[in-house]
């Protein structure tokens, strides 16, 4: 059931997860990748673009493996049908492999 008052929600588990050493390392890696492309002039603050690792970070990829600029919707979404129901949890990029 939704909370009537948003202040009643407890985010203790989320805070623990985000502060874990592994997640801090992952966040630093993502920030470095974006900073690198911002310096090169390929992305700008508020442009609606994401910096995506060519080899996904959760699959062992790094900045050294390469990054690319993608629209946020392409980088974050999965295939859906006309009623917006999830069809596949595999991205187009992974289906091509």
The reported pLDDT for the residue numbered 59 is 72
Tokens of 44: 């700008």
Identify whether 40 is part of a domain.
yes
CA-to-CA distance for 34 and 51, rounded, in angstroms?
6
pLDDT along the chain (97 residues), means of 10: 75 86 90 92 93 78 83 78 75 68
Identify whether 73 is part of a domain.
yes
The whole domain housing 54 covers 9-95
The reported pLDDT for the residue numbered 93 is 67
First to last CA, the chain: 41
The reported pLDDT for the residue numbered 3 is 75
Cα distances from 18 to residues 3, 24, 61, in angstroms, run 23, 7, 20
Identify whether 1 is part of a domain.
no
Identify whether 3 is part of a domain.
no
* Number of domains the chain is built from: 1
The reported pLDDT for the residue numbered 1 is 57
Identify whether 37 is part of a domain.
yes
Identify whether 4 is part of a domain.
no
The reported pLDDT for the residue numbered 42 is 93
The reported pLDDT for the residue numbered 24 is 93
Identify whether 67 is part of a domain.
yes
């Amino acid at each position: 059931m939704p909370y009537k008052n948003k202040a009643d929600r407890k985010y203790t588990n989320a805070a623990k997860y985000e502060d874990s050493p592994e997640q801090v390392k992952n966040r630093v890696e993502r920030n470095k990748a974006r900073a690198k492309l911002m310096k090169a002039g390929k992305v700008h603050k508020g442009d609606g673009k994401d910096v995506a690792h060519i080899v996904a970070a959760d699959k062992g990829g790094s900045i050294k493996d390469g990054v690319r600029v993608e629209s946020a919707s392409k980088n974050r979404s999965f295939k859906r049908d006309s009623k917006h129901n999830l069809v596949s949890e595999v991205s187009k990029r992974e289906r091509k492999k």
